[in-house]
Structure 1
Amino acid sequence: MNSAGPSPKAEDAAGSDPEQDALRARILAQPDLVLEDHRIMRALIAANEKAMGGNIVDLRGIAMERLEARLDRLEDTHRSVIAAAYDNLAGTNQVHRAILAMLDPTGFEAFLRNLGTEVATILRVDSIRLVLETDHPEDPGSIERLGDVLAVVRPGFIDAYLTGPRGRQPIRPVTLRQATPEGEAVYGERGNWIRSEALLRLDLGEDRLPGLLALGAEDPHQFTPAQGTDLLTFFGGVFERQMRRWLG
């Protein structure tokens, strides 16, 4: 008669848990599931530190925490870069659509009216005004018909408006800023609710006074000095060439 006790294998078989066996088998088959899950890895490290006791410093755990923090920063930067790329692509498409719409009209009045309607809608601005300096008064009827878009001012007004009342701001091809009280001279009655603006200084050719294309927005944060101006510079260059063609 055999008096030996049950074998270890028999004990393991008798005491095994099917759920634990299934979990163990899955981990052994796909260890990447554990390694790629940050919460599981942190739980394993915490359990290991607890088992070692409070008098032992786990340098591997500290290094892993620092690597995780660095990875989080890299992921945040990656997301920011992707978001900026999408914003830039959307802005490029928006400006291209506005330029195509600007090229459609075949007459100067239609060109200006289209500027204040379709082009303004595409650029998502609340007001577009073309400001022209002149030494001679224009036809009052023409100004009245195009008053929603066209503003005629005295020589020197544009540079003074761009530099501000104290003349401290430099004159750039494109200026992004908060609206000023002097905006009523540019936007007319709408100047009361324009809160930010993009100002495109126009070179209309030799022996001609400068012009200004003013894009006004009710949102005070739509145009700020921290934003890039490359797309608006390009838009302003196309607009200059169109204006030179109309002015002959």
Structure 2
Amino acid sequence: MSHYNDRNEAEQRIRRSEPSLSVAQVRDYLLAHPDFLANDPELVAALAPSRMEGHNVVDMQQFIIGKLQNQVRTLRDIQSDLIEASSLNSLAREQVHQAALALLDARDFEHLIDFITAPDGLARVLGSRACAICIETTNGVSAIGVRSVRVLEPGGVARMMGGVVPYRLVANVCGSRGLYNHLADEVQSEALVRLEFSRVSPPGLLALGGFEPEQFHPDQAADLLEFLGRVVERCVRRWLELPPDL
């Protein structure tokens, strides 16, 4: 009997020494941590009431199952978006590789420029509406140069790109006639890539005009477009026999 009393007294001392939580505190904690129960299935299994306990009892099992089903649907949507993005990226990669090979196959400088600027050339391969190539001049006058190369005033590349940046992607634009000539009205988005041909020449610009307002947009990755720009630089450098290093 003495042993039982000692144990009982010890348990009472422990209860008095432990801080107690009110129902309101427990409720506030669960509201502040809504995933607490969802992440502890063993606790849910121990606490979840049976459906047979009456219509006034909240069915925790159904709540958790519904939440997990929503999470599964969300994950499926994310997976679908990733698959779609991967497919589009693969298509773009194939287009850029095909375009790079066509640029490298140019017979001479004239053929290279014709392929870049003709509607059925580089623009068609990339699935865009128009393409233009520009270079800055040193005499301060912008114009349409020889072989359809657009000539920009000094500083014109930085002006068009909004600064000395490697590329600029813009959605929902009105195409510039100075770049795209008679196709300007059909250009609704734009990709601009800065070109550095050599240390002895001014900078240039590769412009792609898209059919759709969102064909090019600022959230796109631009690594493929930058790669294409580097190919164009090397092709121009080779045919004009410019110094290879910048």
* TM-score, scaled to structure 1: 0.68
Change (3 A) 1:157 1:141: closer
Q: Structure 1 residue 125: deviation in Å?
A: 1.3
Change (3 A) 1:153 1:142: closer
Instruction: Confirm or deny: 8 A CA contact 2:175 2:187 kept in the other structure.
Output: no
Aligned pairs for 1:57-136 within 5 A: 57-115=58-116, 116=118, 117-135=120-138
Q: Distance in 2 between matches of 1:174 and 1:200?
A: 4
Q: Distance in 2 between matches of 1:80 and 1:103?
A: 35
Show the counterpart of 2:23: none
Q: Structure 1 residue 177: deviation in Å?
A: 0.9
Change (3 A) 1:122 1:92: same
Instruction: Confirm or deny: 8 A CA contact 2:161 2:167 kept in the other structure.
Output: no
Larger % of helix: which?
1
SS of the residue 1:224 aligns to = coil
Q: Structure 1 residue 180: deviation in Å?
A: 5.9
Q: Structure 1 residue 202: deviation in Å?
A: 0.2
Give per-residue Cα distances to partners, 1:87-135, cap 9 Å, x unaligned. Answer: 1111111111111111111111111112223321110111111111223
Show the counterpart of 1:39: none
Show the counterpart of 1:223: 216
Show the counterpart of 1:33: none
Is residue 2:209 matched to residue 1:208? Answer: no
Show the counterpart of 2:182: 189
Is residue 2:157 matched to residue 1:154? Answer: no
Change (3 A) 1:78 1:193: closer
* TM-score, scaled to structure 2: 0.69
SS of the residue 1:225 aligns to = coil
Q: What amino acid sits opposite 1:122 in the alignment?
A: V
Instruction: Confirm or deny: 8 A CA contact 1:161 1:182 kept in the other structure.
Output: no
Q: What amino acid sits opposite 2:156 in the alignment?
A: F
Q: Distance in 1 between matches of 2:109 and 2:169?
A: 27
Q: Structure 1 residue 205: deviation in Å?
A: 0.8
SS of the residue 2:198 aligns to = coil
Instruction: Confirm or deny: 8 A CA contact 2:131 2:208 kept in the other structure.
Output: yes
Change (3 A) 1:71 1:141: closer
Q: How many residues align?
A: 188
Give per-residue Cα distances to partners, 1:117-161, cap 9 Å, x unaligned. Answer: 332111011111111122369xx9972xx33xx212222222112
Q: Distance in 2 between matches of 1:142 and 1:59?
A: 74
Indicate the percent of aligned positions where both proteins have the same amino acid: 32
Cα RMSD of the aligned pairs, angstroms, is 2.5
Change (3 A) 1:141 1:215: closer
Q: Distance in 2 between matches of 1:62 and 1:231?
A: 47
Show the counterpart of 1:174: 167
Match of residue 238, structure 2, among 241, 245, 248: 245
Structure 1 unaligned blocks of 5 or more: 1-47, 164-169
Structure 2 unaligned blocks of 5 or more: 1-49, 242-246
Change (3 A) 1:175 1:77: same
Q: Distance in 2 between matches of 1:79 and 1:212?
A: 36
Match of residue 199, structure 1, among 181, 187, 192: 192
Q: Distance in 2 between matches of 1:126 and 1:181?
A: 13
